Structure 1
Amino acid sequence: MATPQRVSSFEPSVWDDFFVQYEPEPFQISEECMKVKADKLKDDVCMLFKTFNNGTVVDKMILLDALQRLGIDHLFQEQINTAIKGIYESESNCCSLYEAALRFRLLREHGHWVSPGEDGSFNKNVTKEPMGLLCLYNAAYLSIHGESELDEAISFARHHLESMGNSLNYPLSEQVKRNLEIPLPRISKRLDVPYYIAEYKHEQECNPLVLELAKLEFNLLQRLHQSELKAYCRWANDLYEDVGLSYSRHRMVECYFWSYNVYYEQHYGGARIILAKLIELVCLLDDTFDIHATLEEGRKLNEAIQRWDESAIPILPEYLKKYYIRLMDTYRELEDELKQDHKYRIVYCRKAVIYLSILLYYQQEAEWFHNSYTPSFEDHVKCSVISAATPFLCIGLLVGMGEEATKEAFEWALGCTDAVKSCGEVTRFMDDMAAFKQGKVKMDVASTIDSYINQHHVTSEVAIAVMDNMVEDAWRTINQTRFDRRALLPLVNRVAGLTKNMTWLFHDKIDRYTFSRGNKDKIEQQFIEPIPL
């Protein structure tokens, strides 16, 4: 007897063909003039770095923090690396909680190990210093395993920041509000940039040159992303029309947005589009196993992809043949776009599907569903961390990178350890908590929460608290990986960026990919609304 197909109840796209047809309003000055002006401002900011020798360490840290939060640090990477090295090697003599916490955060973000209490400034005797408390709160989220004092610092700072309530002035009041929702080390940098650009002019240390450059750079990049998004949506529309998988989620704009939050810089356009296409393809695969394919159809699809050859097309059900052909065609197209000495990267991308056994895990979950079986929590985690697909995407995000994406980097990502595994854990547990909050329906497969409740005979509240703690542990592992894999730091930070996407995507236990209206305002902010000059 054939196993029943699950029926899709996904909401339609909130965008339809909006970005295919969208033509932005012209700027008040030409883009060419904006570029000329931005180049001049870059030179001016470079001169600021040259004055570092005459400035204090605190001045350096404040400038670096502003460049990062304004989203223009990528323009000065060499200068920033030199400055960070100087800050690390200089004697730590911070005279305030704010300075100590800022130093701690900047150095840990850049892969330099510093102890939470190396200069004695992480004491908790300052409760009327909101800037210092907020900086402490954010810095403490870069903790690793065993740093209980930083967990205490988070609770301490949160308590006092919340107690200050409406007594804080703008812009600090808005920054506290945002960071109490999602701390700075967990939010995709790009999502925070528009807010911080608006707030920076009110900062005591605001540099008008830096602010003007940030506005120009955001708007110029926005035009680039609008152009890319138009072309990408045409590609995705063609894909949807060709493969005809009408049961799947049509989330082309969200797939690009997902990739954009990992790679927003101009020179990573190729990496951005490759990752977006891989997200699109894997989401179609996920929906096929989750809601449509019978067990036998899933086995056939798994077998065909393991073989990765046109000769496997006849074994597939009719409705999956075009998807299989487009999958292989897309991989060939991506390989053709790579430089000759980078073409091996697509081999790793294919290995990721096979070696990580993503399809086997999709199939395993389908069998659990069709047999009404709830696995042990340990078995479920082992399977569903991979089926979350982000370990696969951690390999996909390397494909379009520059020379820093070495074979060593691909082997590390393929091994699915430390930060890569943790990215999958954050995705899985946050996804399952969001789905649980949404409400289980009879066609849902058992989640990790169901498995934990079933195995340990606890309430859903207890199980969710355990998942929250496991998300925190995964983040500690990602933070630790910055030190353990320092030679791969740029790549670890991109994996961290992918994980930050998950933090926003499932924030407050809402699935903003499936229920994409929750993402609409952020997408408008990034791709439609320019920053006033």
Structure 2
Amino acid sequence: MSVPTKPPKFVRRLKATTTMTSDDQESNRTFTELLPSPWTDQFHSVSVDASEMDALRKEIDVIKPKVKNALMSSQGIDSAKKRILMIYLLVSLGLAHHFEDEIDETLKESFEKKEEMMEGENDLYTVSTIFWVFRRYGHHISSDVFRRFTKDSGNFKESLVGDAKGMLSLYEAAYLRKTKDYIMDEALIFTSRHLDSLAADGTIKNGHKPRITKGDKRDRDLPREIWEADDDEDEAEEEEEEEEEEDEEETARGDNREITRHQNITSEG
């Protein structure tokens, strides 16, 4: 007869350790001494030249009537092209918001004769800039306008590489491509590859290099409606997109950075 035995007892043996005090831990830490900050803790004051701001405002007030008159000038094809190129310049300078009504009216009228405007136009800079401006303001111009610059294979002509100004404009225009703008996908690949070498050998000025390396943020922040396809097979998809886009904010307007920056500083002071 087996006699039940008690289960063995497991005794946990604790090893005595020395507890480090906070002072000991502090003394064992190693710290890397950092260089002193070149900035002070606070900006107590910022000097603003009020006369400089007044001078800038006066300059803008002087050019406003001239620009408005130029935008609303004769409606010929050549004039329309020049006015669209002027709109691009205004956007680049951050002054377009001063002429919103004139720009909208100009583009509305010009878009109605876009085919006539593009007919026979073989300047890469002009075509790319007109394309960029129309799409920038929500007018869907077909990317087929760039087929005049491609070979039968669909690749862009290598002769375009020598036109640095046109290549940069095509690069910017490529950022306004929509889903099925395959030619614009090719344009981005083509221009990115060659603009890097043009920037490296000094053909493109330093001021334009950030636009090559970083792309054009203005274009990526545009409202969704300019990306909508006009293909028949995409109509159902476009209707769904339009419903989603109703609540989206319109694109941020460009601003005169110099004046706005000083105005903000003045108000905070």
Task: Mark yes or no: TM-score above 0.5.
Answer: yes
1:121 is aligned, of 142, 148, 154, to 148
Aligned position for 1:458:
none
| Cα shift readout 1:267-290 (whole Å, capped 9, x = no counterpart) | xxxxxxxxxxxxxxxxxxxxxxxx
Please say which of residues 71-80 and 138-147 is displaced more in the overlay.
Answer: 138-147
- Give me the TM-score of the superposition, normalised by structure 2: 0.60
Matched, 1:65 2:92: no
**Equivalences for 1:13-32 in 2 at 5 Å?**
17-18=42-43, 21-28=44-51, 31=54
| Cα shift readout 1:354-375 (whole Å, capped 9, x = no counterpart) | xxxxxxxxxxxxxxxxxxxxxx
Cα distance between partner residues in 1 of 2:251 and 2:126: 24
Whether the 8 Å CA contact 2:175–2:220 is kept in 1: the answer is no
**Equivalences for 1:18-417 in 2 at 5 Å?**
18=43, 21-28=44-51, 31=54, 34-53=56-75, 55-90=78-113, 91=116, 92-93=118-119, 94-118=121-145, 120-123=147-150, 124-125=156-157, 126-169=160-203, 172-186=204-218
Whether the 8 Å CA contact 2:125–2:170 is kept in 1: the answer is yes
Task: Report the residue type matching 1:81 in the other structure.
Answer: D
Aligned position for 2:18:
none
Task: Report the residue type matching 1:116 in the other structure.
Answer: S
The number of residues matched between the two structures is 199
Pick closer, same or farther for the CA change 1:174–1:87 going to 2, 3 Å: farther
Q: Gaps spanning 5+ residues in structure 2: where?
A: 1-36, 151-155, 230-237, 263-269
Whether the 8 Å CA contact 2:139–2:226 is kept in 1: the answer is no
- Give me the TM-score of the superposition, normalised by structure 1: 0.33
1:41 deviates by 2.1
1:525 deviates by 11
1:140 deviates by 0.7
Structure showing the higher helix proportion among its residues: 1
1:66 deviates by 0.5
2:227 is aligned, of 461, 480, 492, to 480
Whether the 8 Å CA contact 2:72–2:106 is kept in 1: the answer is no
Task: Report the residue type matching 2:148 in the other structure.
Answer: S
1:164 deviates by 1.9
Task: Report the residue type matching 1:480 in the other structure.
Answer: W
Aligned position for 1:239:
none
Cα distance between partner residues in 1 of 2:59 and 2:208: 33
Cα distance between partner residues in 1 of 2:100 and 2:136: 14
Whether the 8 Å CA contact 2:125–2:169 is kept in 1: the answer is yes
Cα distance between partner residues in 2 of 1:24 and 1:166: 39
Identity %: 20
Whether the 8 Å CA contact 2:171–2:192 is kept in 1: the answer is yes
| Cα shift readout 1:273-316 (whole Å, capped 9, x = no counterpart) | xxxxxxxxxxxxxxxxxxxxxxxxxxxxxxxxxxxxxxxxxxxx
Q: Gaps spanning 5+ residues in structure 1: where?
A: 1-11, 190-261, 263-418, 420-476, 498-522, 529-533
